[in-house]
Structure 1
Amino acid sequence: MRKIVLYISMSVDGYLATKNDDISWLSVVEKEGEDYGYGDFYKDVDTYIVGKTTYDTILELTGGVLPQAQNLDCYVITRQDIDNKEGVKFYNGDLETLIHKLKSEDGKDIVCDGGGQIVKMLMEKNLIDEYIISVIPIFLGEGKRLFKGGVDTINLKALPSKYFETGLVQLHYIKQ
């Protein structure tokens, strides 16, 4: 069965963006030739889920293109009624229904790339099977939290973490 994997970055103090949706601080770990396992991870993924705010941020950074749409089935979770475009499906239905539908289909894993509200919605229904969280060596002090709270306890099993020369630590957990 396909898995839902949260594959995301956060600051040491738990933020995924500044309060203005700025993610330029991620560049503190940029190093030529280092992709932190991104390429290998995406070999086992064929579906991408992201929230509308994160989608808009990606478009701003890439000049209006969602790079994942070139190789993956992409779903943008939104409350708005938006027509699908350029390989992107805008979904405003029940998220749990979508996840069960995707998991029941043949295919590779499904990756969630945020944002915090989408992560919370998935966690409320205990739908995330695996967590890969890259912790960036920076304190932001404030911003948009990755984990918003308000969900029931979810027991996880730790898999080996990875430590990189740039200070990035990649945590890896699976649902028990």
Structure 2
Amino acid sequence: MRKLIMRMSFTVDGFVGGPNGENDWVFKSSDETSRAAAAEGFREAGLIIMGRKTFEGLSSYWPTASGPFAAPMNEIPKAVFSKSGYKGLSPVPNAEPSPAQASWAAARIFNGDLAKGINELKSEPGKPIYAIGGAGFMRSLVVTGLIDEYRLTTHPVLLGKGQPVFDGLEQPRDLKLVDVKSFPGGIVTRIYHPA
């Protein structure tokens, strides 16, 4: 059974986005070392999963992007989860997709029960599954109790208000700290496993 890893950036006061999802603060404190470490981490993934909103935004950005994240984001297979009966990307008429565009268009789509879809993916052979995305998808993922590792990156900023992820848990979840890495720009990544 392969491992499900949640990767998420947070503010010091626990938000993953501003009130309207703003995340420009993520880039203000990143530095070459933290970006390289994050990109290298993605290379261990065998699958990247996300919610529909994140998928639609990233699928229009990454195929033409450059930088350390472009190759892993475009090459690693993807799966998208939706509650609304999402059909996937529409092909561009009379156009041959680039390999990067084809990778996004080939994403597996899971509509309906999130836990059932996650269990299906975890039961397949392969390298770890990386979960990325917005507050709503991550909140739903946490509630399933199927996350094997939390890679939580704290950025040195306070927003005062915004979008949390860990609100709404019906009961506390104990975690065990297994690693901590700090970077020159003030970013700290903590890795936790369920206790």
The interval holding the TM-score normalised by the smaller chain is 0.7 to 0.9
Aligned residues with identical type, % of pairs: 27
Contact 1:2 1:109 in 2 (8 A): yes
Determine if the alignment matches structure 1 residue 164 to structure 2 residue 183. yes
| Pairing 1:78–2:79 present | no
Q: Which has the higher strand share?
A: 1
Offset, 1:146: 2.5
Kindly state the Cα deviation for residue 90 of structure 1 after the two structures are TM-superposed. Answer: 3.3
**Cα distance in 2 for residues equivalent to 1:117 and 1:97:** 18
Cα 1:33–1:173 change in 2 (3 A) is: closer
Asked if residue 108 in structure 1 is aligned to residue 111 in structure 2, the reply is no
- The aligned residue for residue 55 of structure 1 is 55
Q: 2:49, 2:132 within 8 Å by CA — same for their partners in 1? A: yes
Q: Is the 8 A contact 2:182 2:189 kept in 1?
A: yes
**Candidates 150, 153, 174, aligned match of 1:155:** 174
User: Could you tell me which residue of structure 2 aligns to residue 29 of structure 1?
Assistant: 29
The TM-score with structure 1 as length reference comes to: 0.87
Question: Do the aligned partners of residues 25 and 117 (structure 1) sit closer, same or farther apart at CA in structure 2, a change above 3 Å counting?
Answer: same
1:2 paired residue number: 2
CA–CA distance in structure 2, aligned partners of residues 135 and 21 of structure 1:
16
Which amino acid is 1:75 matched to?
Answer: A
How much is the aligned-residue C-alpha RMSD, in angstroms?
A: 2.3
Structure 2 unmatched runs, 5+: 90-104
Structure 1 counterpart of 2:76, one-letter code: L
| Contact 2:181–2:190 (Cα < 8 Å) also in 1 | yes
Aligned residues between the structures: 175
Distance 1:79 1:147, change over 3 A: same
Query: Structure 1: where are the runs of 5+ without partners?
Result: none
Q: Hey, which of these two has a bigger chunk of helix by percent?
A: 2
Question: Deviation at 1:28?
Answer: 1.4
